[in-house]
């Protein structure tokens, strides 16, 4: 089984091809200085050619649905929907933070992915590995980082562009006696490989949805929606 995965929830997007047996076949990052809309399809075409694979050889398309950049998520979803419609292959919606939490497999520490949500907030949740499965212990929310720290009572790994931006806030606001671990830059962005790996597991369990029914998982309303309501 092969999956083409798309991750456009942050300014650093990526595309990956994952094989169920051999794992990651190839992955490419999108240039953060160029809009995802301009780079996504050319990157997918290049990735397929360099892997000597055709789009028809994909068994499905896994796509990051958020939370994250409203514009990036819409672009990723519309691209995945188009590929699904044209190839008649299933589409697998993957929550961004769920996949991002797999950055540290089987860690004994609490995991706190944080994505910058602007407005001095982060998109975040808490996860814990229990054996070979990961469990979400606090659900996704948009919240000020110092407020979210009240949920944390043990040593925790903080990662993501939100953790990077608010690292001083985290260190100053964390409860006394609790260690906060900040990983290197390579662990600070979600990846399409993580989306693809989770997508394969979901597809094997029969989890896929009609393309026309998929919507982004925004958590909060976009600026355009707020202005429209006013």
Query: Does the pLDDT value for residue 229 go beyond 70?
Result: no
Give the pLDDT band of residue 224 (cuts 50, 70, 90): very low
Q: What is the pLDDT of residues 141-195, one digit of tens each?
A: 999 999 999 999 999 999 999 999 999 999 999 999 999 999 999 899 999 999 9
Query: Does the pLDDT value for residue 132 go beyond 50?
Result: yes
Report pLDDT for 11. 87
| CATH of range 105-182; options 3.40.640.10, 3.30.420.40, 2.40.50.140, 1.20.1440.230 | 3.30.420.40
Instruction: Answer for the pair 149, 156: CB distance below 8 angstroms, yes or no.
Output: no
Extended beta strands in 33-132, E state: 60-64, 91-94, 110-116, 122-130
Helix (H/G/I), strand (E/B), else coil: 3: strand
CA–CA distance, 172 with 151 (Å, rounded to integer): 15
Instruction: Answer for the pair 18, 193: CB distance below 8 angstroms, yes or no.
Output: yes
Q: What is the pLDDT of residues 110-123, one digit of tens each?
A: 999 999 999 999 99
Query: Does the pLDDT value for residue 210 go beyond 60?
Result: yes
Query: Does the pLDDT value for residue 222 go beyond 80?
Result: no
Among candidates 25, 43, 26, which has minimal Cα distance to 34? 43
List 152's β-bridge partners, or say none: none
- Residue 32 is given by DSSP the state T
Let me know if the fold of 2-96+190-229 is the same as that of 105-182.
yes
Peptide bond into 207 cis (omega under 30): no
Domain regions of the chain by residue span? 2-96+190-229, 105-182
Give the pLDDT band of residue 230 (cuts 50, 70, 90): very low
Where does 2-96+190-229 sit in CATH, by number? Answer: 3.30.420.40
Query: Does the pLDDT value for residue 39 go beyond 60?
Result: yes
Report pLDDT for 192. 98
226 vs 88, residue with greater confidence: 88
Among candidates 130, 125, 99, which has minimal Cα distance to 111? 125
CA dihedral 134, 137, 139, 143 (to 10 degrees): -120
Q: What is the pLDDT of residues 44-77, one digit of tens each?
A: 999 999 999 999 999 999 999 999 999 999 999 9
Structure tokens given for 159: 């990662």
**No. of helices (H) and no. of strands (E), the chain:** 8, 10
- Residue 209 is given by DSSP the state B
CA–CA distance, 1 with 20 (Å, rounded to integer): 5
Query: Does the pLDDT value for residue 208 go beyond 80?
Result: yes
- Determine the straight-line distance between the first and last CA of the chain, rounded to whole angstroms: 48
Structure tokens given for 133: 């499965």
């Amino acid at each position: 089984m092969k999956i083409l995965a798309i991750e456009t929830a942050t300014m650093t997007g990526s595309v990956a091809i994952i094989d169920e047996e051999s794992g990651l076949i190839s992955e490419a990052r999108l240039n953060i200085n160029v809009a995802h809309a301009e780079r996504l399809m050319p990157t997918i075409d290049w990735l397929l050619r360099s892997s000597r694979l055709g789009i028809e050889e994909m068994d499905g398309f896994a796509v990051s649905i958020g939370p994250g950049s409203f514009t990036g998520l819409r672009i990723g979803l519309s691209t995945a929907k188009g590929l699904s419609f044209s190839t008649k292959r299933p589409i697998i919606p993957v929550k961004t933070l769920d996949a991002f939490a797999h950055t540290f497999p089987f860690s004994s520490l609490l995991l706190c992915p944080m994505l910058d949500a602007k407005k001095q907030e982060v998109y975040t949740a808490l996860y814990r590995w229990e054996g070979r499965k990961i469990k979400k212990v606090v659900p996704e929310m948009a919240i000020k980082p110092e407020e979210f720290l009240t949920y944390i009572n043990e040593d925790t790994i903080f990662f993501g562009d939100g953790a990077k931006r608010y690292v001083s806030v985290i260190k100053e606001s964390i409860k006394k006696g609790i260690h906060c671990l900040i990983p290197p830059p390579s662990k600070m962005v979600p990846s399409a490989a993580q989306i693809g790996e989770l997508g394969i597991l979901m597809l094997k369990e029969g989890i896929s949805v009609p393309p026309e029914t998929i919507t982004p998982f925004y958590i909060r309303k976009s600026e355009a929606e707020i202005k429209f309501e006013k």
